[in-house]
Amino acid sequence: MSAGAAVMVLAAPSRYEVVVDVLSTDAITISPGMRMSVEDWGGPVPIDAKVRVVEPGAFT
């Protein structure tokens, strides 16, 4: 086995969930159902994704 080779697959990338913090000024332009692309996640190509929920809260 070469260095960096996958030992096992724990889950299919199509089942991943990503939690992202965004600025309030950007968050107002995001809504459930929007398409997005997840890049630099560790795999060779971006993953097509969809926004599931936008939490109605903020912090400073």
Is 4 among the domain residues? Answer: no
Residue bearing the bigger pLDDT, 13 or 49: 49
Residue 34's domain comprises 13-50
- pLDDT of residue 14 exceeding 80, the answer is no
Instruction: For 1-60, give the DSSP string.
Output: --TT--S---S-GGG--------HHHHTT--TT-EEEE-SSSSSS-EEEE-----S----
For the record, the structure tokens of 13 come out as 């990338």
pLDDT at residue 57, as a whole number? 79
Is 42 among the domain residues? Answer: yes
pLDDT at residue 13, as a whole number? 67
Q: Indicate the number of domains in the chain.
A: 1
Is 5 among the domain residues? Answer: no
Per-residue pLDDT tens digits for 25-56: 888 899 999 999 989 888 888 888 999 999 88
